[in-house]
Copies of this chain bind each other. A is one copy, B any other.
Amino acid sequence: MCATAPGKSAPADSWPSAGAGSGVSQLSARARAAPESGIVEVINHGWQRPGLIPLWAGEGDRSTPKFICEAAADALAAGETFYTLQRGIVTLRQGLSDYYRRQFAVERPIGDFTVTGSGMHAIKLAAEAVTAPGDELVYLTPAWPNLPAATAVSGAVPVPFPLIENDGGWQLDLNRLEQALTPKTRALFVNSPSNPTGWVATIDELAAVLDLCRRKNVWIIADEIYSRFFYGSERRAPSFLDVAAPSDRVIYVNSFSKNWAMTGWRVGWLVAPEDLGQVFENLVQYSNSGVPQFLQKGAIAAINDGDAFVDQQVAQAEEARSVFTEILRASERVRLRPPDGAFYAFFKIDGITDTRSAALDIVDRANVGLAAGTAFGPGGEQYLRACFLRRTDEVEEAARRIAAYAAAL
């Protein structure tokens, strides 16, 4: 299957002929249209290759800190293995409320928080909450492919809105965005800092987008998972939290995965106006029926005692970002601007137009794992993505291999 994110949803299934086999053709159009992840395709190609430096996935090289693991293991040993509250246990939701006060200087009560089974799950619930089948959800591209794919599986129509590329940087055209939001648009998905581009919306842009969505009566789904990974003068990226009221139609989706090196835990959360609480409780009930309580105990340790670890992660990313950028910019054949946020380099290599083939070839010949830009939808096709949240020496070696590969083209 192709590695790109889906566009418009496929036509409805026709009634299958009696006696047909079990195959894929008998499934729903939405299931058949869900693409294989273009990121995973390259990972499968290079899985467990000796000496390969894997920069393909969106995760760092550190396992979860011990104090977090021990909190979960202690709860498991204490027999906390029963069904638990659908929206998350109160101490975790209190910890999240405290975290928002500390990091974002906003007061959001416990009732605004719902614990989810990953950031992905938070996105899916948000999409189901605000779109009916056939409704449109506009999203900025290049984008993480799971967002449009999950939207399409839910029955809604993901509509890409490309950022404008300008000398390796990315810009949001607010006038064009206003035109792109039609009466069919129920939600705008904004991921800032952005995976894969590293684009970060300014506070003025966020205010303008909020104003636009208020006027057009469009929900905002704000994916600010990377807000702590910001390389500007502040400790974090600008956030819709800085400009929106708690009662605004903004649903924030987030995850423990990146900040606290918990990608393998599948715990996330969402923040929404308090009066939507019962609806999100129901959507949790009818999708995964809650998050394991003993995992939530680990998440409590992360949110309450993990600030210093996040700071270390960000410092590591910033150092690796410099090294990676410097080496590749010294190469004459690589076009790269250091990202303003997140932990990805999104770059072009002169002479490469088919990045999907190139990513597979770079595995084979440079022994570095990258993600192909084709995985990220309109506007990203000519790029390659490298995750640099990793030991500096490995990132440096990977950059040298990529530069050598580019030089030999």
Q: Bin the interface of chain A by size.
A: 35 or more
Does A171 count as interface, using CB distance less than 8 angstroms?
no
Does A124 count as interface, using CB distance less than 8 angstroms?
yes
Q: Is A286 within 8 A of B130, CB to CB?
A: no
Q: Is A133 within 8 A of B130, CB to CB?
A: no
Q: Is A146 within 8 A of B219, CB to CB?
A: no
**Contact bitstring A12-29, B, C-beta under 8 A = 1, else 0:** 110111111111101111
Residues of B within 8 A of A265 (CB): 81, 292
Stretch at the interface among A68-76, A310-318, A332-340, A350-358: A68-76
**Interchain CB contact (< 8 A) of A81 among B40, B64, B283:** B64
**Contact bitstring A28-58, B, C-beta under 8 A = 1, else 0:** 1111101111001000000000000000010
Does A365 count as interface, using CB distance less than 8 angstroms?
no
Q: Is B82 within 8 A of A263, CB to CB?
A: yes
Within 8 A of B (CB), among A141-164: 146, 149-150, 153-155
* Docked complex Cα distance between A215 and B31 (Å): 23
Q: Is A275 within 8 A of B22, CB to CB?
A: yes
* Docked complex Cα distance between A216 and B341 (Å): 54
Q: Is B278 within 8 A of A1, CB to CB?
A: yes
**Interchain CB contact (< 8 A) of A28 among B135, B248, B278:** B135
* Docked complex Cα distance between A186 and B31 (Å): 14
* Docked complex Cα distance between A26 and B146 (Å): 25
Q: Is B288 within 8 A of A117, CB to CB?
A: yes
Does A131 count as interface, using CB distance less than 8 angstroms?
yes
**A63-B82 contact given A22-B247, A154-B154, CB 8 Å threshold:** yes
Q: Is A289 within 8 A of B120, CB to CB?
A: yes
Does A382 count as interface, using CB distance less than 8 angstroms?
no
Does A91 count as interface, using CB distance less than 8 angstroms?
no
Q: Is A263 within 8 A of B81, CB to CB?
A: yes
* Minimum-distance CB pairs A-B, first 5: A63-B79, A133-B133, A155-B155, A64-B81, A34-B282
